[in-house]
Amino acid sequence: MVPNPLPSRYRIIEEVGQGGMAVVYRAQDETLRREVAVKVLHPHLLAEAESRARLQREARAVAKLNHDGILQIFDYSGDDAESSFIVTEFIDGQTLKQFLTNRKLPVPELAALIVLEVGDALAHAHSFGIIHRDVKPENVMVRKDGAVKLMDFGVAQVVDLERMTVTGQILGSPAYMAPEVLDGKTLDFRSDIFSLGVMLYQMATGVLPFAGKNPHEVLKRIGEGRFADPRTVSSRVSDQLAKVIARSLARNPDDRYPRLALMLDDLCTYVVDAGLENPREELRRFFTAPEDYEKGLDHRLATALVASGQREQATRRMARALELWNRALALEPENPTVLAELRRLERGERLRRWVTLAVGLALLVGIGSGTFAIWRHAMRARQGGNAERIVATLQPPGATGPIVAGGPKAPAPRPKLAARPQNVPVPSSHAPREPRRVAAPAERAEPREEAARESLAAAASPQRVELTLGPHPPKVEVWMDGQKRFDFGPRQDRIVVPWDGPHTLEFRNDSCCNRKEVTVGPQAYRPPGDHLYVNLDPKPARLSVTLQPARADASILLREVGDSRPNPWRTTVRPGERVPVPFDAGDEMRKSLDVVVFLGDKTLTERVNITAGESRQVTVRLDQ
């Protein structure tokens, strides 16, 4: 039943959705013979000025816009009408949130494609001075033909075109809300960029950057501006994408992208590197037939990334080439082309180290020979008592600089001058010089010998590689080669590994998970981007149910709560029976179970939370 009267031209077919302030119906426009969607304000909100104003804002904001990616507005009830409604195009499909609930995106590149489509529509709104202020998956529709539509401009704000800002108000969804909204500061288009960055993080990793048990905790984390590096959440998030996410989620708006177009440019480069040059067509294929699209997707993207890396290598941009090849290895860890190229580069690096070692040895030999020559000359001079002859022997005539070991061969000593009569002036050009001080062998050779020793040590010493760790669950002990190094946490998330051979890294959380070992080293394994992600296999929990008072005719069902999979875990048990509760590798470490007791025509249900590895007994009272 429609809660508000509508014009007779709109024939309601069915209810298709409920929001906080309105009901959405599928309807037929009898005048224009087309299907439409009618959003009708709840009757109890008709008297609230703000609720009516939101519907009015949405109608007037979207009426200015004409973009394929924005839901079209066809009609509006008006400010003084008895009912309050808007009529829009009907989208035969589902929200992006509904789609993501049933299917996780296989690669972060698809997240970037979705953000490119939503961002293009959002940039169009920005060009008309409209801030959406509620960008989130619930407000993105995915049509059955794969088209993506941005909708719900109910909290949108038209900015002051002179100041290009609006005063912040707490409107929108907490998890996607920019920090300046919480601070009550002025808003601009960068607030939408933040919300779009939250969506990008969520779709690329499968989790929200700012999560909590309640809205207050979520808002607190947003205000602090701290979130887990997305590379530690998903091994497929590359350095390139992580930079885009970090810049869009900067707490200070001045540190974000100044314009949405710049963020979209970076994402466009990111997807084109992977061979995805037509976002709209790629999304159409994915949303209409996800299973078919995902077949061979990893290999397809890896092949394109390898080719992109080779093009960068040809222009001598090796850092960029290595970044692209790391992305390829995240998709195909055994990609033969990349591994062959890395082996070739490693051989070149070993050759460079050997050359450095040889140069260091030659330098030490040369220094030793020069030092011995100086010492020999000094000994002869000491025996003859003629310092002037030493200087003349070690330096060319007229030279005044320091003696350099291994320099040009000194000429033969000048003949000794005849003695001059007393009191006969000596021409200034032949004035006797102070004997030049000749440094002792150890003193003169020390700086060059020390430099050579350091060069030799650098060439001979093993390389050290710093790995950034991303274990799941994060509460683990980190061990290397049988010795505990530290407890993983925000302040200790990296480990330095000597790159001189295989080393075993072990991650332990014996209370909930089985231990996981990874061997790293030059001939073993080096994780892409030096980011090591490890999922520990959770141990099953143990649960038993007792009844009070005991009843032999009762039956008990255990079932998992909140699992969107087609066949969530469930089992029947006998009172007192101890049963294992399985936890999959991708599960969180905590589950909610319903304990359902069937007793004749009576059913009792009790909710239980249990963690991986936990052993627990639950008592259900039948007399309640």
Residues with catalytic roles:
134
As to burial, measured by CB atoms within 10 angstroms (0-12 exposed, 13-18 middle, 19+ buried), residue 566 is exposed
Cβ neighbour number for residue 512 with a 10 Å cutoff: 19
Cβ neighbour number for residue 290 with a 10 Å cutoff: 15
Spell out the residues 6+ positions from residue 350 whose beta carbon is closer than 8 angstroms to its own: none
Report whether 275 contacts 302 (CB < 8 A): no
Report whether 551 contacts 622 (CB < 8 A): yes
Output the DSSP codes for 163-232. T--EE--S-S-GGG--HHHHTT-EE-THHHHHHHHHHHHHHHHSS-SS--SSHHHHHHHHHHT----HHH
Cis status, amide bond into 549, omega within 30 of 0 = yes
Q: State both tokens at 119.
A: 């961002």
How many whole angstroms separate alpha carbon 559 and alpha carbon 577? 15
Long-range contacts of 103-107 (CB under 8 A, 24+ apart): 103/290, 104/206, 105/203, 105/204, 105/206, 106/294, 106/297, 106/298, 107/236, 107/297, 107/298, 107/301, 107/331
How many whole angstroms separate alpha carbon 130 and alpha carbon 582? 49
What is the sign, positive or negative, of the torsion defined by CA atoms of 70, 75, 79, 82?
negative
As to burial, measured by CB atoms within 10 angstroms (0-12 exposed, 13-18 middle, 19+ buried), residue 5 is exposed
How many whole angstroms separate alpha carbon 24 and alpha carbon 61? 19
Per the listing, tokens 């009550």 go with 184
Report whether 323 contacts 238 (CB < 8 A): yes
What is the sign, positive or negative, of the torsion defined by CA atoms of 337, 338, 343, 344?
positive
Report whether 187 contacts 181 (CB < 8 A): yes
CA 289 to chain centre: 28
Q: State both tokens at 606.
A: 């009790």
How many whole angstroms separate alpha carbon 12 and alpha carbon 38? 8
| Closest alpha carbon to 598 in 560, 568, 553, 561 | 553
How many whole angstroms separate alpha carbon 439 and alpha carbon 374? 9
Q: State both tokens at 324.
A: 């692209």
Per the listing, tokens 């350099």 go with 404
Spell out the residues 6+ positions from residue 404 whose beta carbon is closer than 8 angstroms to its own: none
Torsion of CA 30, 31, 32, 33, to 10 degrees: 30
Report whether 153 contacts 171 (CB < 8 A): no
The kind and range of the H/E element at 318 are: helix 318-331
How many whole angstroms separate alpha carbon 33 and alpha carbon 25? 16
